[in-house]
Amino acid sequence: MLRFLLSLLCFCCCAFVSAQQQLVSGKLIDKQSGLPIAAASITIKSSAGKIVAFKATDAKGLFQISIVAEQTDYNLEINHLGYKKYALPLRDATDNLTIALEPQAILLEDVEVKSKPMIRRIGDTLAYDVGSFAREEDRSIGDVLKRLPGIEVSDAGQIKYQGKEISNFYIDGDDLLSDRYALGTRTIPHKMVKDIQVLNNHEHLKVLKNKRFTDQVAINLVIKEDAKLKMTGEAKIGVGLPKQYDSELNNMLFNKKYKMLNVLNGNNVGNDLSNELIGYNRENTLARLGTMPINNLLSLGTVENPPLAKQHYFINNSGSLNTNNLFNLGNHWQLKSNIQAVYNQSTQQFNGQTDFFTNEEVISFTESQAMETKEFLAAIRLSANQNLDKKYISNAFSFEYEKEDALANIRSNGQAIAVGKQHQIRGFSNQLDYVPELANKNILQINWFVNYGSKPQALSLSPGVFPAVFNNNLPYQTTEQVVDVPNFYSKLSSGYRVPKGKINQYYGVSVSLEDQRLRSNIALLDSGMQQAPLLDSTSNAMHWLRSLYSIHTEYSWKKNRLEMALSLPLSFQRTTFSDPTYLLHEAQNKWLFLPSFRLKYRAWREDDLDFSYNFTNNFGNIQDVYRGIIIRNYRSLSQNTADINESSMHAFSLNYRFNRTVKMLFSNIGLSYSKTQREAILAQQISNNISQTILSPIPNDVHAYALQMGIDKYIFPLAGTLKLNASMTYTTFEQLFNDVMLPFQGMTYMLRPQMEIKIWRMLNLSYSSTLEWSNARQRNQPELGNSVFNLAQNISLPLSIFKGAYIRLTGRHLHTRQPAMQDFNYFFADASARYRVAKWKTDVELNLTNLANIKTFQTYTISSNQQSQNNYALRGRMAVLKVVFAL
């Protein structure tokens, strides 16, 4: 199958190369003076009015454009302000044309633009014309975003522009969805959107625009005027085999005063609705505030999800409600509510083997698991803000809830274990911002953030695990592990900004408090009786308290193409943690100086050079200092012997972005290096029936190097985009494994080519692949290294049979190769057909997935001295017939 795909790709590429090209060239002159005309727009269109190619004349009035020779129904159009529009059918003579344009005086207020370029740049804003990139088979604006040159959309829906994550996703200037914008890209019809704008050097607060250093990037969807006048939406009803359903109801309205996007849906076809609750920037926001989230400490098993689209292995029954409403009131006040609720019931099956390599032996774990999970997630977010040129005020409140109950039947190294896991997460946060401009034009900044959350968790294992550790090697019936980790964090900051003069200045003070508690206990059950383990270190009653007092100064300077910012924060931090169970009471006082420097240089009209340096300190949290044993899963124990897990990191990055908007060319290259010095190391103790992790007070360093580059080019003759991304990462680190310090080095190469092109008038080709070479080896014993090659290819052939009827064939090929191991090859084939009944505003769709009925999937994973081989159960073949009504 791999040979078939490569042959098909080569055939297509050869077909493109062999297509004969014809040169259209000439010179534009003024009919009266005979002088050359520069910067005139030369456009070549098909008989259907689609733009095939365009170019501007140079300073001498000359132009050259290549077109496919076989096509004879092209028309040449010339537009220039101050001259009459000129049109010429292209027949035989297409080179060395001399065209004289007739001058025409035009009053600007009477000019009406009939057409516009596919992409245009105005200052820091780049605008893509949606109509020029959209295709008839497209449904949502997300379909268009994926093929725009310079823009990347991940499988999870996250958007990047030239490798940089976007900070905001606006709909007609309003941030309706915050950073949970995947719902919008999936549901908003592309026909509602006029332009997709990329806002470089974006500043969300109007009062701070051009008054502080920013390198953020945002996306804005410009809604068409006629689409703002009425509410629209869709009702989708889908049923299929075996016993499948997939339904959705959505409605939306995007006008100046009121915006809404509300969705109700349910399915059992593998669509994970909880993805639309994900906030892409949440962890980055918490890190900037100075706190870090506490992870779930307990888990059912040790195997991660397979590298497949989730619909292949997610066997589910799911339902969700997602409502988003925004009101623009008088005096520029804005109210917004985002309310989401999701229920998932899912099953999953897998088995696998994990090998750990040492100098003397190979330690192996085998595992099979059948799991059932029920979860309910809910989030309520309410905000009010006023964003003016002279003032910004905002208050955002959020409440989140999650409840999960999971059961699993596990067989590990021949032993059968029944596992139950429950957790319940409740939390709220509130952020208040007040940023007024004072009478002297200086700016005051006040911010207060508060967050509270609790995470009670429980794990039940039958028969009882680790009898040698907890029960003097005597078997017993059940082990119960309970944990609760409540966390409170608050930060209050105030600053004074002086944006006048050659150097912009900012002076601020802040104080923050973080209070964490960790309570845990292990109980043994046997014959209906509960007893304590025969070990005195199986409980925790830890209290962690950290306070931070900071003075922050920042200076920025901008002149012509150069802009720099220097940040000099000085802080005093006090951390205490105690646990009376172990007579533990520790305190640490620390002065911190964490400078950072950023530089931007506009190397050319559209080229940018960025450099940054950051020095950061991380002190971990309560997860790194608890002393009592916690059972993390059926085979893993965890505890700590170190004090505060302090680490410091120097990070450098250099990026160059080369853009040519007129030529539809976007490229970037970046280098980065970081050195992390840690005061503690996570030690592993592995035997044939137990895995222990202990944070030990042993210093170690981690060095990481990375090189990444990307290039996107729109090819006019192919009416599509070619993209190529490549990266290389090299890491050196140490790992304490079974009391032996092992030095490791890891190297990963990745190559990601993509193309979205038109093969024929009715047939398109979409191709993407990821090639990854990974190896990890011990520096002192390279023969113990692991290496693996993974290839994932996706190919899609959308075909327009006739107007309103579409067929799409899709294939995904996965290949894994590792020395001395059997190669894995999988090919997943899907097909879909859609017919649009324009009179009824209705689409009828038939979706066929996993046509080859593949029901198992194997994969390799490697990391340092660990290798895993896993086998997953898949959904098998499905067929769903769906009717989509436009409301």
pLDDT band at 356 (very low <50, low <70, confident <90, very high): confident
Q: Which residue has the higher pLDDT, 401 or 869?
A: 401
Tokens of 59: 């300073």
Q: What pLDDT was estimated at residue 389?
A: 93
User: What phi, psi does 193 have (nearest 5°)?
Assistant: -105, 130
Query: Structure pTM?
Result: 0.82
Between residues 762 and 550, the one the model is more confident about: 550
- pLDDT > 70? residue 113: no
Distances from the Cα of 232 to the Cα of 103, 229, 832, angstroms: 45, 10, 25
**How many CB atoms within 10 Å of residue 850?**
19
User: What is the average pLDDT across 31-57?
Assistant: 81
Rounded Cα distance, 243 and 266, in Å: 14
Residue 536 has a pLDDT of 82
Name, in order, each residue with C-beta under 8 angstroms of 265's C-beta and a sequence gap of 6 or more. 236, 247, 248, 249, 250, 273, 319, 320
The H or E element containing residue 12 is helix 2-18
Which backbone phi and psi does 852 adopt, to 5 degrees? Answer: -80, -5
CA distances to 142, 221, 271, 363, 655 from 218, in Å: 15, 10, 28, 49, 19
Amino acid at 188: I
Q: What is the mean pLDDT of residues 648-671?
A: 93
557 by DSSP, 3-state: which?
Answer: strand
Q: How far apart are CA 755 and CA 723, in angstroms?
A: 6
Query: Comparing 675 with 10, which gets the higher pLDDT?
Result: 675
Mean pLDDT of the residues in the chain? 87
- pLDDT at residue number 282: 62
Q: Give the DSSP H or E segment for 18.
A: helix 2-18
Retrieve residue 478's tokens.
């059940």
Domains and CATH numbers, the chain: 21-110 (2.60.40.1120), 119-230 (2.170.130.10)
- Of the listed ranges 241-255, 279-293, 355-369, 399-413, the least confidently predicted one is 279-293
Does residue 314 surpass a pLDDT of 50?
Answer: yes
The pLDDT tens digits for 594-649 are 999 999 998 877 899 999 999 999 888 898 889 999 999 888 888 888 788 889 99
Which pLDDT score, from 0 to 100, does residue 109 have? 47
pLDDT of residue 782: 64
CA distances 330 to 100, 170, 205, 259, 412, Å, are 54, 20, 19, 15, 64
**Is the C-alpha dihedral spanning 364, 370, 374, 377 positive or negative?**
positive
**Cα 332–449–260 angle (5° rounding)?**
40
Q: What is the pLDDT of residue 260?
A: 96
Tokens of 397: 């409140």
Phi and psi based region of residue 210 (left: phi greater than 0; alpha: psi -120 to 50; beta: remaining) = left
Which is higher by pLDDT, 652 or 82? 652
Q: Please, are residues 78 and 31 in contact by the beta-carbon 8 Å criterion?
A: no
Residue of 795, 870, 799, 879 whose CA lies nearest to 845 = 879
Would you say residue 589 has pLDDT above 90?
yes
Beta bridge partners of 758: 764
> Could you tell me if 343 and 325 are in contact, meaning their C-beta atoms sit under 8 angstroms apart?
no
pLDDT at position 487: 93
Look at residue 779 and tell me whether its pLDDT is greater than 80.
no
